Amino acid sequence: MDSLVGINRQRVILVTYVIAAMDITGLFLQFSITPYLAKRLGFDTLWFGYLQTTVGVIQLLGGPIFGRFGDLFGARAALSVSCLASVVYFGLLAMADSTAMLFIHKIPAVFMHILPGSQMIVADLTEPDKRADALAKLGLCFGVGMIAGSSLGGILSMRYGESFAASVAAAGSFVSLLLVLKFIPKHTKQQSLQQQNENKNRSVFNLGDITRLMRYPGVAKTFTVKITSGLPAGIFQVMFSIIAMNFFQLQAEQNGYLMAYFGVMQMIMQGVVIGRLTARYAESSLLLLSVAVASLVGLAQALMANVFQFCFIVVPMMFSLSMFNVITDSILTKSVPPSDSGTMMGLCASVQSFMRTIGPTIGGVLYENYGVPSFGYIQCIINIAVFIFLFMDRRGERHRD
């Protein structure tokens, strides 16, 4: 029996986009207030790095397990757990008045994986040839959330305080939970009744079932590229709140406006540019393009001197980041069976968590010893190396064909 009979796929995808946008709004609201709250509580750059690393470790452990949970128990259960965890997460942030509480409030992040859960639903409900465009549209929601969250975070924290801003984020997560329970079906995969019964006997914590995905053709290579090329940009993103505060000398409200500008660029790239490019060009060519642009962005970041120059760099930066993430996620989900799409999205999310785990430590050392330009030079060099690897590998595949 088809588990998707009677489901309005377009409606489910639309609601999923709304839930993702609300989740990202809450996260960026938190991003815009946490550095200033941490500074008020006496954190220096090193301790703020420890705080970021804590989140990375927690989500690194939870990402693959969450994806596996979604594959076995369905989209509704997975997103419900994530939304409930977000309510607790932001609620604890609203009550944070000490160093210990700021660390404790990060614990529910182990279950907070609404974006990969949304990606799983979109991957389940779209055809392979349309998947990259659908995932890009999900990135459009990321842009909306970035704009709304950054703006709200800066305005609310300046006028009413960090606790009130965090409470608004908690309320938004509760609304998302209600939307999940109302509109998201129990299962979004094409599964027979026999397959659903078999899933009940499979363990969420079976690491063998999770890591076996790496043995599918092309998966290990794409993952290696995703980590290697994405690491320098990930370090810069993790450290950006410190860069904005110390290097650019921005206040909370100004930082919120800058993040909103990021969101506008993200919306343009993922809502307009990427969909058209994926419809006309091969994913392998677009992956090469995104890596090449990333190397040029790194060089520009190394040479920038002020926030106005950075605003010009943001345009190609958001293009390369958006294209790279969409293409690699699309390639990876196509490389495994549909029944494992959630686990794969969980593994993709774990890449970002891995970067947040090691990024603050590496970024703190680079920032303190070599300054902001070091981030750009490293990104430029690494992406040139990745571009050469991908180009040579592509030529090798053509010769073998």
Query: Does residue 2 fall inside a structural domain?
Result: no
Query: pLDDT at residue 176 above 90?
Result: yes
Please give the Cα distance from 228 to 222 (Å, whole number). Answer: 10
pLDDT of amino acid 207: 64
CB 90 within 8 A of CB 169: yes
pTM for this model (two decimals) = 0.72
Burial of residue 376 (number of CB atoms within 10 Å: 0-12, 13-18, 19+): buried
pLDDT of amino acid 45: 64
Give the count of domains, the chain.
Answer: 1
CB 131 within 8 A of CB 147: no
Please give, one letter per residue, the 3-state secondary structure of 176-225.
HHHHHHHHCCCCCCCCCHHHHHHHCCCCCCCHHHHHHHHHCCCHHHHHHH
Question: What share of the chain in percent tops pLDDT 70?
Answer: 89
Query: pLDDT at residue 370 above 70?
Result: yes
224 or 397, higher pLDDT: 224
Q: Residue with structure tokens 């180009």?
A: 391
Query: Does residue 358 fall inside a structural domain?
Result: yes
Closest CA to 69 of 106, 111, 109, 27: 111
Query: pLDDT at residue 352 above 50?
Result: yes
Q: What is the mean pLDDT of residues 200-225?
A: 71
Q: What is the mean pLDDT of residues 168-193?
A: 83
Quickly list DSSP for 49-65: HHHHHHHHHHHHHHHHH
Query: Does residue 337 fall inside a structural domain?
Result: yes
Tokens describing residue 252: 């909370």
Q: What is the mean pLDDT of residues 337-362?
A: 75
Query: Does residue 101 fall inside a structural domain?
Result: yes
CB 188 within 8 A of CB 74: yes
CB 218 within 8 A of CB 331: yes
Query: Does residue 1 fall inside a structural domain?
Result: no
Confidence of residue 192 (pLDDT cuts 50, 70, 90): very low
Of the given ranges (71-75, 295-299, 312-316), which has the lowest mean pLDDT?
71-75
Residue-averaged pLDDT of the chain: 81
Query: pLDDT at residue 151 above 90?
Result: no
Tokens describing residue 192: 């027979």
Query: Does residue 172 fall inside a structural domain?
Result: yes
CB 150 within 8 A of CB 296: no
pLDDT of amino acid 2: 42
Please give the Cα distance from 306 to 371 (Å, whole number). Answer: 14
Query: Would you say the C-alpha torsion 329, 335, 337, 338 has a positive or negative sign?
Result: positive
Q: Provide the residue type at 284 as one letter.
A: S
Query: Does residue 4 fall inside a structural domain?
Result: no
Q: Highest-confidence range of 46-60, 167-181, 317-331, by mean pLDDT?
A: 167-181
328 or 272, higher pLDDT: 328
Confidence of residue 212 (pLDDT cuts 50, 70, 90): confident
Instruction: Give the range of the structural domain holding residue 365, as residue numbers without chain letter.
Output: 9-400
Query: pLDDT at residue 75 above 90?
Result: no
pLDDT of amino acid 99: 79
Question: What share of the chain in percent tops pLDDT 90?
Answer: 17
Find the CATH number of the domain harbouring 142: 1.20.1250.20
Tokens describing residue 305: 């001197």
Q: pLDDT, tens digit, for every residue of 260-307? A: 788 788 778 877 788 788 878 888 889 999 999 999 999 999 998 888
